[in-house]
Amino acid sequence: MGLAPQDLQFADLMGRLATDAGPELLAAAALCSRATGEGHLCLDLEAFAGREIAGVALPGIGGWRERLRGSGVVGEPGSFHPLILDPAGRLYLYRYWAYESHLAEELVWRAGQPPEDIGPEHRSLLQQLFPAREGVKVDWQKLAAATALCRNLTVVSGGPGTGKTSTVVRILALLTARAPELRIALAAPTGKAAGRLEASVRMAREALPLDREQRQRIPGEASTLHRLLGAEWGGGGYRYHGGSQLPLDVLILDEASMVDVAMMAHLVEALPRRARLILLGDRFQLASVEAGAVLGDLCGDADGFSHPFRERLRAVTGEKVPASPRPHPPPLADSVVYLRHSYRFSEASGVGRLAQAVRDGDAAASLTLLNAQDGPELGRLDDDRLLSGAVAGFRDYLSLVRGGEDPLRVFAAFDRFRVLAAMRRGRRGVEGLNHRLEQALLEAGLLQSREGWYQGRPVMVLQNDYGLRLYNGDIGIVLGGDGPGARVCFPDGEAGLRWIPPSRLPPHETAFVMTVHKSQGSEFDRVLLVLPQEDRPLLTRELIYTAVTRARERFQVCAPDAVWAAAVERRTRRSSGLREALWGPPVSA
């Protein structure tokens, strides 16, 4: 078991601060630090009790707890110690215990607020916005909208094409019809996701069966969470916080699965309790890069509404509303709606069926779909065809670059295809594939050079620069000249385009290939996923599902069967007390 230098350094610090620094404390501190770095909120002591770790024979769970409590640096929940040990045997760094407990308190409070009434005029508008559709047994979009009208907190989870954005636009139409002066904000974790949310909302807004004045009440601008909260330069905190809250009545947060526990805790602290919070996302996607799996924990045990809320929704919507099988579900059960019907993929869709097989952990079914044929929706590439397949995918956009076409057309063509990788390093990681693909494009005559700031080079920003309004994940393309005259062009919403000299860019990298994590919040017509030749722990069901659901029309993969199958069968599990704090102890089967 590998421990990083920072894990050992933290253990050494705890040893120096402790009044009783035995090896059990040092091992627990190092393991807790490592767990947080791997995305867990805490260390589950039970998983390590009685084992030998780094040459230390750890005691049983009871003895280990007692020795930690006597160390002087481990406290109970609510105390102020570097490490917090809760009654369930979860050991936290104090900071992450504070984030989790504050977030849970705020979300439970919001979920517990009594639902508001929906008047007859808004029931009529609800029916107008969600007319009956043939073949749809239960209109989950209508149920989500009615829930958002009633409740202080609403969580809408759904897979690709289930209509999360069109649902939220209709929610905003209903809210602004009831109170036209509402202060509303749309936000997403990254600049790319915010831009996509903005474009989707504007498009859906124009399609509403409402007059122009009603449509114009719905905001069409979205921001990143950092910009919304007023992140200060140099990581000095946020302008908005518990003592100076956001001037909002409604906050819509898209791609909530990408938000880690620290950011979500900051967000709910900065949002007034009277303001509605509506979270959108796909609970089956990858969890955040940083610690926590907030959306997954929020959706965790949702299996239907309480009986009183079910009857309220049925009266308002006329839909057949499922009730929770539990006689007394927690309040959060009435705040979570899962959209089940995909309007993008038909039942026969290859991409849709593959996404469902992966989501369900059915490796055999997913491989059957992939191996059936190299058809219009699904395909396999072997190593010999990997680079030629990628070159074919980028041919259109690079031809437009060489022809000096309008930059907006270039970006549209570039965003139709993307190569995704699971890893950053190695021959089949982002760095190795970008290098190999540049050479292949050069040999195909689609690049004039692969050195420096050549025409058509896609560049991804790796660090926020608030002065330039460039954010981690933003992608620009070098256009308008090579060498010293080169400029990197970035899309800029309604403003069109921005041109930035390369010398002013924050840390960045070439972006013919991007990690699956970085692709979250984006969609492409065609996706090519490259996995390593050997199985790795980071290859999980959630990673594969996220990659598949980036594709609107066609998905291809280059990977051995055994690696694909192992990934589909491996679920991401992050240790946390948040789900239990929100839903109560697990219900026995």
User: Is residue 455 a part of any domain in this protein?
Assistant: yes
Rounded CA-CA distance 524/128 in Å is 32
Task: Examine the domain organization and report whether 313 and 413 are in the same domain.
Answer: no
User: Is residue 577 a part of any domain in this protein?
Assistant: no
- Mean of pLDDT values over 121-134: 83
What radius of gyration do the chain's Cα atoms show?
Answer: 25
User: How many independent structural domains does the chain possess?
Assistant: 3
Q: Domain boundary residue among 327, 343, 359?
A: 343
Range of the domain at 251: 113-343
Task: Examine the domain organization and report whether 372 and 241 are in the same domain.
Answer: no
The pLDDT value given to residue 267? 95
Task: Examine the domain organization and report whether 88 and 178 are in the same domain.
Answer: no
Sequence-distant (6+) residues with CB within 8 A of 414 are: 394, 397, 458, 477
Task: Examine the domain organization and report whether 421 and 296 are in the same domain.
Answer: no
DSSP string for 288-333: -SSS--HHHHHHTT---B-HHHHHHHHHHH---PPBPSSSS--GGG
Structure tokens at 275: 């303001």
Sequence-distant (6+) residues with CB within 8 A of 326 are: 303, 333, 587
Rounded CA-CA distance 173/187 in Å is 17
Burial of 199 (0-12, 13-18, 19+ CB in 10 A): middle
Cα distances from 403 to residues 416, 446, 501, in angstroms, run 18, 11, 22
Task: Flag whether pLDDT at 108 surpasses 80.
Answer: yes
Task: Examine the domain organization and report whether 250 and 395 are in the same domain.
Answer: no
Q: Is 318 annotated as a binding residue?
A: no
Within a 10 A sphere around the Cβ of 577, how many other Cβ atoms?
22
Q: Is 518 annotated as a binding residue?
A: no
- Mean of pLDDT values over 50-61: 84
Q: Is 220 annotated as a binding residue?
A: no
Task: Flag whether pLDDT at 512 surpasses 50.
Answer: yes
Task: State whether residue 47 is helix, strand or coil.
Answer: helix
Q: Is 375 annotated as a binding residue?
A: no
pLDDT band at 589 (very low <50, low <70, confident <90, very high): very low
User: Is residue 429 a part of any domain in this protein?
Assistant: yes
Cα distances from 67 to residues 23, 28, 58, 451, in angstroms, run 10, 11, 11, 59
Name the nearest CA neighbour of 89 among 50, 52, 39, 38: 50
For residue 476, the domain's CATH number is 3.40.50.300
Q: Is 161 annotated as a binding residue?
A: yes
The pLDDT value given to residue 495? 57
- For 539-580, the pLDDT digits (tens) are 999 999 999 999 988 999 999 999 999 999 998 888 899 999
User: Is residue 589 a part of any domain in this protein?
Assistant: no
Q: Domain boundary residue among 284, 309, 343?
A: 343
Q: Domain boundary residue among 281, 311, 343?
A: 343
User: Is residue 233 a part of any domain in this protein?
Assistant: yes
Task: Examine the domain organization and report whether 333 and 366 are in the same domain.
Answer: no
Task: Examine the domain organization and report whether 88 and 121 are in the same domain.
Answer: no
- Mean of pLDDT values over 381-389: 88
Task: Flag whether pLDDT at 343 surpasses 90.
Answer: no
Task: Examine the domain organization and report whether 400 and 436 are in the same domain.
Answer: yes
User: Is residue 588 a part of any domain in this protein?
Assistant: no
Structural contact between residues 101 and 93, judged by C-beta atoms closer than 8 angstroms? no
Q: Is 304 annotated as a binding residue?
A: no
User: Is residue 584 a part of any domain in this protein?
Assistant: no
Task: Flag whether pLDDT at 349 surpasses 70.
Answer: yes
Question: In this structure, which amino acid lies at residue 234?
Answer: G
DSSP state of 223: E
User: Is residue 587 a part of any domain in this protein?
Assistant: no
Predicted TM-score (pTM) of the model is: 0.87
- For 145-161, the pLDDT digits (tens) are 999 999 999 999 988 77
Task: Examine the domain organization and report whether 409 and 471 are in the same domain.
Answer: yes
Mean pLDDT, all residues of the chain: 88
Q: Is 19 annotated as a binding residue?
A: no
Task: Examine the domain organization and report whether 325 and 385 are in the same domain.
Answer: no
- For 395-422, the pLDDT digits (tens) are 999 999 888 888 888 998 999 999 999 9
Task: Examine the domain organization and report whether 482 and 556 are in the same domain.
Answer: yes
Q: Is 163 annotated as a binding residue?
A: yes
Rounded CA-CA distance 335/292 in Å is 20
Structure tokens at 380: 């396999």
- For 226-256, the pLDDT digits (tens) are 889 887 766 568 888 989 999 999 999 999 9
The pLDDT value given to residue 363? 93
Task: Examine the domain organization and report whether 274 and 355 are in the same domain.
Answer: no
Question: In this structure, which amino acid lies at residue 554?
Answer: R
For residue 79, the domain's CATH number is 1.10.10.1020
